[in-house]
Amino acid sequence: MNTTFMTRAIELSRLHMRANAGGPFGALVVKDGKVIGEGWNQVTSSNDPTAHAEVVAIRDACRALNTFTLEGAEIYASCEPCPMCLAAIYWARIGKVYYANTRQDAAAIGFDDDFLYQEIAKDVAERKVPMLQAARDEALAVFEEWMVKNDKRPY
């Protein structure tokens, strides 16, 4: 763990929180010892509930490298990633996560991270937000087409 990178992630959280960009969260994506993406929470300033620090940093890194995969990269986050950010980290193929605050620390100041972790673990029928399946046959047809598509770019 590189303390300079973690310090920068925390600095981003403080700086942009004070500027009212969003909540107190910052993140860096690092590859080969170099920062390739930075992010801070921009939920309220961009009216985008997905603009969490880690997602913003991943988007920034992918733009910088012109790729959708960040294999070999690490992410430094001022807080343990929420389930959405954790999923984005996995989708980006980031190899290691370093974090400072915990999801319980985030819950203590009013953020839903811990609640979301609990919801994901539940059976679909037991979640607070109802989830109803529809049009599966039509959707499966698209999946079947994907399976035989010769010019697809897998990820």
Residue 97 near residue 119, CB atoms below 8 Å = no
Strand order in the sheet with 34-40: 34-40, 26-31, 73-79, 96-101
Q: Is residue 54 annotated as a catalytic residue, yes or no? A: yes
Question: For residues 100 and 48, what is the distance between their CA atoms, to the nearest angstrom?
Answer: 24
What's the residue count for the chain? 155
Choosing from 11, 38, 54, 145, the catalytic residue is 54
The backbone region for 135, taken as left when phi is positive above 0, alpha when psi lies in -120 to 50, beta otherwise, is left
| CB burial readout 127-136, b (16+ within 10 A) else e | eeeeeeeeee
Determine the straight-line distance between the first and last CA of the chain, rounded to whole angstroms: 28
Task: Tell me which residues are annotated as active site.
Answer: 54
